[in-house]
Amino acid sequence: MTTMESLIGLVNRIQRACTVLGDYGGGDNTFSSLWEALPSVAVVGGQSSGKSSVLESIVGRDFLPRGSGIVTRRPLVLQLHKTDEGSQEYAEFLHMPKRRFTDFGAVRHEIQEETDRITGRTKQISPVPIHLSIYSPNVVNLTLIDLPGLTKVAVEGQAETIVQDIETMVRSYVEKPNSIILAISPANQDIATSDAIKLAREVDPSGDRTFGVLTKLDLMDKGTNALDVLEGRSYRLQHPWVGIVNRSQADINKNVDMIVARHKEREYFATSPDYSHLASKMGSEYLAKLLSQHLESVIRARIPSITSLINKSIDELESEMDHLGRPIALDAGARLYTVLEVCRAFERIFKEHLDGGRPGGDRIYGVFDNQLPAALRKLPFDRHLSLQNVKRVVSEADGYQPHLIAPEQGYRRLIEGALNYFRGPAEASVDAVHFVLKELVRKSIAETQELKRFPTLQADIAAACNEALERFRDEGKKTVVRLVDMESSYLTVEFFRKLPQEVDKVGNPGGNPGGNPQATAAVDRYGEGHFRRIGSNVSSYIGMVSDTLKNTIPKAVVYCQVREAKQSLLSRFYTQLGKKEAKQLSQMLDEDPALMERRQQCAKRLELYKAARDEIDSVSWTR
């Protein structure tokens, strides 16, 4: 069975971890707050209602700052730990963990000093809590949060907004559903005017989590009593009202000991004609026990939901941390490793785009299968091999002496002229593939999760890839143009060997294969049929070349561009990287500051939740 001590102690430890890691609610809303999930008792009351007195009575010690105006200007998280009878009482602040305070006057002084450290000596308020733990045999295990007293008017030296600021801060504590409200009202004032009850009614209309405390019962006018309130007739709450008699100002001035004051209070109720029937359920000691039991039962009920919040938050934070990437190491070697790792991740994605697995590589095949053949088909060979042009080229090639057999020069000029047209589609294929590759680089950079954190490295990789792709494009162009030039430099002889026979056949419709070609040529030399035949011969030669180039251009493009991009897109970049100094490497890894900040916050949060999970696990083991 989990002990009460361990449960309240558990929440105390988690609360301390929360404060150390900056989670005290109300702050950064991008994270779910663990603090807000923890049950706590918030002490609320108007100024001079007796809040400090109630807290001191519960502790049995005089340790809170006193004075005029707003004394409590930061929340005070007061964690009470019961120790063995006879052991020495001491106090500890979270902000100075090494020091044990046995002098409670010094505790008061430190609360004042620590308040001023954040708020300055002005009368400003701050939501950052002060954590104070008190270890004593005279307390019960309990955690209370003392909040600034609600006020109605700003006094000299205070900002006009102070009234609202205090209410906003107090409200932020009491409106969360896990907060138990200790609403302090003085008995010598009409309950209907109580600031504490007014606020409690707003945030907890059912009165489920409000404990009403009535102070100053001894200061009520003679002949009146507070039974209507204490017995729940004036304002009904789910929990019974508790009446309190604290030290009067005169007692404080006389330094009446708190333990003596507790005795006096007990005596007051025991002997009071009005309240003796309620005596066992009145007084600060009873209040402390009641709260402790209630807090314990609330914590017990909340543990499963706190555990699931913790586990859910750990999962979320871990996946966010994965997403954000690990923090970057400081030494040059580790930085170089990080850069290489990121580059490799990028290259992996780029290759997936080319090889399949990710889309885009198919567009390269699209260039070879559609764009190139379409461009080849569109070449203006009809114009080039029109009767008129063939006639002109052949005649010009013959000069003053017409050809005798086949117009060799004419053929060559016509073919060379036609072959030149192939340069266009060849170079266009190189360009088209270049743009596909460039687009794939852009996509791959965007898809490389690891690169997202490093805008500079992203730009460097993009520049290196584009530079490499330009080089591959140049090489690709040279190669395809060379393929075309090769076609011009040496024509396929075999094709032409067949020509005289064909000419012969055409010239000899009778089909005499042994006929004299010279004679036939001489007959047709100036006829249209002769030029048409030349045109059609050249056309079929060009068709043959076109078929060849349709196959060889893609080979050249893949060889020079695609294969190179796969194998050595970042080769030069890697060579340069090896020469870089630590400083240049760290410039490459200059993360987006917002991302760095977010990672730090996530890491802190994760630490908090893991610490909290360990705390909960440790309690479970003691069951």
Ligand X SMILES: Nc1nc2c(ncn2[C@@H]2O[C@H](COP(=O)(O)OP(=O)(O)OP(=O)(O)O)[C@@H](O)[C@H]2O)c(=O)[nH]1
Closest to ligand X by CB, 62 vs 110, is: 62
Q: How far is the CB of 167 from ligand X (least distance, A)?
A: 14
Q: How far is the CB of 180 from ligand X (least distance, A)?
A: 18
Closest to ligand X by CB, 123 vs 363, is: 123
Taking a C-beta distance cutoff of 8 angstroms, is the pair 425, 376 a contact? yes
Per CB under 6 A, the list member of 128, 219, 379, 428 interacting with ligand X is 219
Size of the site for ligand X (CB under 6 A): 23
The reply to whether 210 sits near ligand X by the rule CB under 6 A is no
Residues between 69 and 88 with contacts to ligand X, criterion CB under 6 A: 71-72
Taking a C-beta distance cutoff of 8 angstroms, is the pair 610, 17 a contact? no
The reply to whether 256 sits near ligand X by the rule CB under 6 A is no
Nearest to 144 by CA among 115, 180, 195, 178: 180
Q: How far is the CB of 115 from ligand X (least distance, A)?
A: 12
The reply to whether 283 sits near ligand X by the rule CB under 6 A is no
Residue nearest to ligand X (CB): 149
Per CB under 6 A, the list member of 216, 391, 434, 533 interacting with ligand X is 216
Q: How far is the CB of 452 from ligand X (least distance, A)?
A: 52
Taking a C-beta distance cutoff of 8 angstroms, is the pair 191, 229 a contact? yes
Q: How far is the CB of 52 from ligand X (least distance, A)?
A: 3
Closest to ligand X by CB, 128 vs 219, is: 219
Q: How far apart are CA 24 and CA 31, in angstroms?
A: 12
Q: How far is the CB of 269 from ligand X (least distance, A)?
A: 12
Q: How far apart are CA 184 and CA 499, in angstroms?
A: 117
Amino acid at 473: R
Site stretch for ligand X (CB under 6 A), options 210-218, 359-367, 416-424, 530-538: 210-218
What mask, x for binding ligand X by CB under 6 A, covers residues 170 to 209? ----------------------------------------
Closest to ligand X by CB, 33 vs 194, is: 194
Q: How far apart are CA 479 and CA 476, in angstroms?
A: 5
Site stretch for ligand X (CB under 6 A), options 223-231, 238-246, 293-301, 508-516: 238-246
**How many other C-beta atoms lie within 10 A of the C-beta of residue 404?**
11
- Burial of 152 per CB tally in 10 Å (0-12, 13-18, 19+): exposed
**CA quadruple 329, 333, 336, 341: dihedral sign:** negative
Q: How far is the CB of 69 from ligand X (least distance, A)?
A: 8
Q: Tell how strand 40-45 and strand 179-186 pair up.
A: parallel
- b/e burial code for range 12-40 (CB count within 10 A of at least 16 → b): bbbbbbbbbbebbbbeeeebebbbbbbbb
Residues between 29 and 58 with contacts to ligand X, criterion CB under 6 A: 45, 47-53
Q: How far is the CB of 156 from ligand X (least distance, A)?
A: 16
Tokens of 487: 């076609």
Site stretch for ligand X (CB under 6 A), options 194-202, 228-236, 241-249, 335-343: 241-249
At 604, which helix (H) or strand (E)? helix 593-621
Residue 76, beta-bridge partner list: 130, 146
Q: How far is the CB of 185 from ligand X (least distance, A)?
A: 10
Amino acid at 389: N
Residue numbers at the binding site for ligand X (CB under 6 A): 45, 47-53, 66, 71-72, 149, 215-216, 218-219, 244-249, 252
